[in-house]
Each structure stands twice: as C-alpha cells, then as structure tokens.
Amino acid sequence: MKDYTAQGQTEPAPSYSSHQLYIMAGLAVLVTTIYFLMKSKQEDLTKKRERRQRIEKSDKKDIEEKTKTSITDEEERALQSVRHIPELPMMWPGPRGRNLLDSGCPYYNTYETSDKRHMAVGSLEPQFYKDLIKGLGLEGDDLPSQMDFTKWHKLAQLFTDTIKRKTQKEWTDIFSTLDACVTPVLSFEEAVAHPHNIARGMFLDNKEPSPSPKLSGTPACPQTEIPALGQHTEEIMGELGFDKDSVKKLLEDKVIKVDS
C-alpha cells in the first residue's frame, strides 16, 4: 500500500484551494467569536452590578492603570478556553493528525534536533512561513505551495530531515533574529531561567508562576509560601462547625489528614 505521508498515512490528504482554506479559517474565527460573545452574556449580572458599584466609588486615579500582558502570559488561559469550544468541523475536516492544528500541518508542529531536543514551529501566517523557510535555508528550493494540503507530507519530511541536522541551540540562534514563530522546547527548569521569562517576571522566587495579567497600579501580591497538605485541616474543620471530638474521630478513621 502506498505511503502518502511521513507519518504512515495510507490515503491521500484532502485537497483544498487557498480560497477554500481562507474561507474555512474565516468561518472558524466567526464561530469562535460568536461562542465567546454568547458565553460572556451569561455572566452573573449580580457580579457585574457589584463590580460597577465598586468602580464608581473608587477614585478615578486608582482605576486608571496600565495592564501589561503577553502571549506567554496568556497562552495557558487560551488553551483552557479552547477546550470548551464545541468542535468546529471546518477546522478539522480530516482524521486526527491530518489537519491544520493537530500535527497534520508541517509548519505547525514540533521537530527533533540532532541532539535529541525539539523545536516548536508555529509559522501559520505567510510572513512567518517566509522566515521559516529562510531560517531553514530552503529559500532556493523548489517547494510546494504553503497552502497545498496534498504536498504537506513532502514538506513535513523535508522539515524533519533539515531540522535534524543541527542542535537545538544552533536552531535557536538562527531563529532568534527571525520572526518565524520557531522556538526551542524547554524543560521547566530552562523555562524558569529563560531571559524572556526573567525579564517579564513570569515566575516567583519559589518557581511558581506569577499572577497575570500584570497591573501597574494594583499589582497582585502572591502568596509565596505554599501550605503543606493538611496544614489548615483542623482550622477549616473548626470553621465548618466540627468540634474537637468530631475532628479527632475523622482523623482516626483517616477521613481527613493533618500536616504532621
């Protein structure tokens, strides 16, 4: 049986013209926008009124503050939101692993380097894709069109072979001067020590993520000491109305636990 892709695909990928692809992307954005608009209208009206009252009572100077955020600050929130969006068929027309955002797209995937590390590629927009090809040194090659789904398997194999010729550091240095959305896949320890994250104060001294977004006028004051498991059990049980004998019985039965 003929192998159509580098991932072992046994049937040809769906073919779409550039016009169809842009229509699909536009519909996806429209449906996503409508979803979030409907969701926002379901927000608790009581909380909105209370928030409005607090703002009205506040001094204008206190509420005029700059809000600083970045892609890195918010990407986790974006990912969590996507989990609750109903399936959008126009974005996933094919089976798993053969679509735009699920590793089927060669310029939206991760690739192994020569030192067994990985690079993340997210060059969806044409300007980013252009810099991707430049960074990979493939500008002079006769490449298929970026939007030609039927040739994605060829691009994927070419990118796989090319990226595997250099180390992660070498590729990181190359793409550090290009706007290609190509970045190294870091370990947690490396992420904490990364210059970008240090400059933005992304992590606290105890390596926990810092609050986001970052407010200039009323910055969050995070609690840097993480409570031990069971540290406040007895205190909370007392607040819930349990007397000492009841708490003792629950401890003996191993229903609850205190920090020892």
154-191 pLDDT, tens per residue?
Answer: 999 999 999 999 999 999 999 999 999 999 999 999 99
Q: Give the domain range for residue 149.
A: 108-185
**In a domain? residue 236:** yes
| Spans in the chain with pLDDT lower than 70 | 1-22, 24-25, 28-31, 33-49, 52-93, 223-224, 260
Question: What pLDDT sits at residue 121?
Answer: 97
Question: What pLDDT sits at residue 104?
Answer: 87
**In a domain? residue 197:** no
Dist CA 153 CA 252 (whole Å):
61
Question: What pLDDT sits at residue 226?
Answer: 72
**In a domain? residue 191:** no
128/173 same-domain check: yes
Q: Please count the structural domains in the chain.
A: 3
**In a domain? residue 28:** yes
Domain final residue pick, 28, 61, 91: 91
85/124 same-domain check: no
pTM of the predicted model, to two decimals? 0.55
Question: What pLDDT sits at residue 63?
Answer: 44
**In a domain? residue 160:** yes
68/43 same-domain check: yes
**In a domain? residue 136:** yes
**In a domain? residue 201:** no
117/179 same-domain check: yes
113/158 same-domain check: yes
**In a domain? residue 70:** yes
What CATH number should be reported for the domain holding residue 145?
Answer: 3.30.1540.10
Dist CA 134 CA 51 (whole Å):
50
Q: Is 184 left (phi over 0), alpha (psi -120 to 50) or beta?
A: beta
22/60 same-domain check: yes
Domain final residue pick, 129, 153, 185: 185
Query: What residues contact residue 95 under an 8 Å CB cut-off, 6+ apart?
Result: none
Domain final residue pick, 135, 158, 185: 185
Give the sheet arrangement for strand 108-112, strand by strand. 108-112, 118-122, 182-184
Please state, as a whole number, how many other Cβ atoms lie within 10 Å of the Cβ of residue 47.
9
Distances (CA, A) of 159 to 48, 132, 172: 50, 10, 15
Query: What residues contact residue 12 under an 8 Å CB cut-off, 6+ apart?
Result: 4, 150
81/131 same-domain check: no
Question: What pLDDT sits at residue 36?
Answer: 61
